[in-house]
Amino acid sequence: MSRSRKGFTLIELLVVIAIIAILAAILFPVFAQAREKARQATCQSNLKQIGNAIMMYVQDYDETYPINDGRGNVPAFYTQPPDARGVASVARMGVWATTLQPYIKSYRIYQCPSCPLDTTTLSAPLNAGATEYPISYAYNGQLACSNLASITSPATCINFWEAYGKASIRNYAISTPTLSTPGPPHPRFSSSDCALYVQRVPITTSYFVHGNGSNYLYCEGHVKWVSASTDYHYSPWAEIDGNGIPGSYWSDDRGCAWLFRPPLTPDGEN
């Protein structure tokens, strides 16, 4: 007895392919969202570790926050590690990314997995053999040299944030916003004029890092995702376009960046 094998018809194959295509169209965005949620959680874990490190640093140094940058006055970029480019200097050694290393012991913590390396901004060559460390986070320079007790609203005042937007910079760490008026030996919020600005680097980078917002670390240690909106109660931006590009930030009558001020109070009176 002979048996014949019946194959699929063209119509049946097309139906199966159409079903697979529909399922893929439904599931791929779900997979992408799940992957981004995992990256957001990793980013929050990074910031949490930075928060633990800054609290240990503050306890070791008479409850005083680190200086805002290596020179202690104007906003600047400093290579991290200090010997990654050129010659290591005292200025580079004073940057937060280095001063927190005894507590973190890894420069890799400073990169958000959702922030690809920007190779066009500050692309100066590294020293031969230097390791490349993408850095996504920045320190709130208005906290520079502040005493722990002076932070009147630690659950509201921003400590570290994804200041580069959806990008990482190669081996450079910044403090932003930063007090730009010199003070002896370093400026601090209570004794320095608020001549400062919120530095946006690169200026065309979207602040839609995780969905339509980004992660923030606050002074009392909690980490929270915040929508990149124009609500001054929780977003630093006074204006931001549909692509996540900010145009200006909220400030008080002294020009101090609102959510980065150490004496910030919940009712906004201080």
- Model pLDDT for residues 23-39, shown as the tens digit of each residue: 777 766 655 667 888 89
Q: Which of 258, 92, 121, 240 is nearest to 177 (CA)?
A: 258
- Tokens 């014949």 sit on residue: 4
Tell me the C-alpha distance between 123 and 121, whole Å.
5
CA distances from 246 to 37, 41, 242 (A): 23, 24, 9
Q: Which of 244, 245, 157, 189 is nearest to 64 (CA)?
A: 189
Q: Would you say residue 1 lies in a domain?
A: no
Tell me the C-alpha distance between 168 and 137, whole Å.
8
Q: Would you say residue 148 lies in a domain?
A: yes
Higher pLDDT, 163 or 182: 163
Neighbouring-strand partners of residue 214: 226
Q: Give the number of residues written for the chain.
A: 270
Q: Is the pLDDT at 184 greater than 90, yes or no?
A: no
- List the domain range (segments joined by +) for residue 158: 12-260
What residues contact 186, with CB distance under 8 A and at least 6 apart? 67, 68, 72, 73, 144, 145
Q: Would you say residue 82 lies in a domain?
A: yes
Neighbouring-strand partners of residue 160: 139, 217
Higher pLDDT, 86 or 122: 86
pLDDT tens digits for range 224-239? 999 988 998 889 898 8
Q: Is the pLDDT at 40 greater than 80, yes or no?
A: yes
Q: Would you say residue 4 lies in a domain?
A: no
Tell me the C-alpha distance between 200 and 196, whole Å.
13
The pLDDT mean for the chain works out to 83
User: Which pLDDT band holds residue 5 (cuts at 50, 70, 90)?
Assistant: low
Which strand (E) or helix (H) includes residue 65?
A: none
Give me 258's structure tokens: 């609102």
| DSSP symbol at 64 | B
What residues contact 132, with CB distance under 8 A and at least 6 apart? 117, 126, 170, 171
Q: Would you say residue 191 lies in a domain?
A: yes
Strand, helix or coil for residue 157: coil
Tell me the C-alpha distance between 109 and 91, whole Å.
22
74-91: average pLDDT: 79
Strand, helix or coil for residue 46: helix
Number of domains within the chain: 1
Q: Is the pLDDT at 135 greater than 70, yes or no?
A: yes
Neighbouring-strand partners of residue 246: 240
Q: Would you say residue 269 lies in a domain?
A: no
Q: Would you say residue 267 lies in a domain?
A: no
At residue 76, the pLDDT reads 62
Higher pLDDT, 89 or 63: 63
Q: Would you say residue 92 lies in a domain?
A: yes
- Tokens 């602040």 sit on residue: 207
162 close to 137: Cβ distance less than 8 angstroms: yes
Query: How many angstroms separate the most distant Cα atoms in the chain?
Result: 102
At residue 160, the pLDDT reads 96
